[in-house]
Structure 1
């Protein structure tokens, strides 16, 4: 039985790989009530999202219209939340629409530019509406980033390798960018040059941040999401690596974000901010 105090949740991108996991997690959470499932796959529109996700009938049809679903969610007695796992091309407008309707966004879609994130933060501030943008919902990744930040105080040379499935639309990953940003908070330059490098093929050395951190992106079938942060110094290499084997590992972080975003009045970036 759904409690009257349950959090109403709309899932955008509900039929995708991450969306289906979120459907199952929200359906099983005692303090949440799935009220809407949005997906633009025409083959799935009208089907029960529970059956699509493999968790049994939920009596929630897959709908293609986000705006109409947000308008419906805004009528709920309890503050509603939208979880978004869609595409970099649409996520900015999705967040603006949710905030405009008073629906709290929890965003797992990566690919937003720093300028877009700042614009959304300003919009959330004006609306006094909580918003969470989280490049990676894994607790293990947060621990890796914390260890990397500590190590960066002792190493001047570091490179990041991120590996994802070949259906990921953006590169580098939001997680790799966030990791580099955390290392750059110390204000130090990395990878001081030892020789004048020449790339015989453009991109061979990956991309480079303002502070000199190299990021390399790999896209292959068979991967889910993986990241290495490799530090080097004379005579030693220190490697931090995080691997995922099942998208279910992200669900504790997603559920935590749904609960926490209701307590916010502004935009926050990163799972570490709410742990």
Structure 2
């Protein structure tokens, strides 16, 4: 290891001693600097995961964030993606095991960051779909906008997220059922919207490259209450598509 590598590793691992150059009084100054780095990383996580902070409280979140930074120090000086491993970390974090929905909350917040920084690709409107024949619509492949992420959860993740964000008045969640959301950036800010399970499955199949007809048929078998017209209204009305691949080429 080079001196610089040893220095960086010791900054984010308190159980490692600093490089030999920091022996003696310099080691105390290094410890102060290491603490400042840890505080900065925790604050970066607080900024990226405000809904988690709201759910857990600052003290709990900071303690968890401290453990996370020790296990997953940033791999880049650009902190935009710092915290991408947090959902998996939370899933194995014993003090949070009574709140199994937290990992999915973290996934929504990560999707918001990615949506905010996604490429500003033009979206396809209803007119692009209106010129297609039924056979073309059934066989077409839909490319979703890079800002779009669809997330499904076995927990009422939309209700939890909306309550913790202050979008809905505080209230008990009566029906603890699976929910889904779509994250997007239609204008300048990332947004989170609720989805039915069927619509989420449908958009997920489209995003995975399935032709629309095959995707719809498969989802109808998995989710008997799947409403294809409503799912298409979500896809088209919210401008989630950026390109359509049909038999004779692309529509844009």
TM tier, shorter chain?
A: under 0.3
The structure richer in strand per residue is: 1
Which structure has the larger Rg over C-alpha atoms? 2
TM-score normalised per structure 2: 0.26
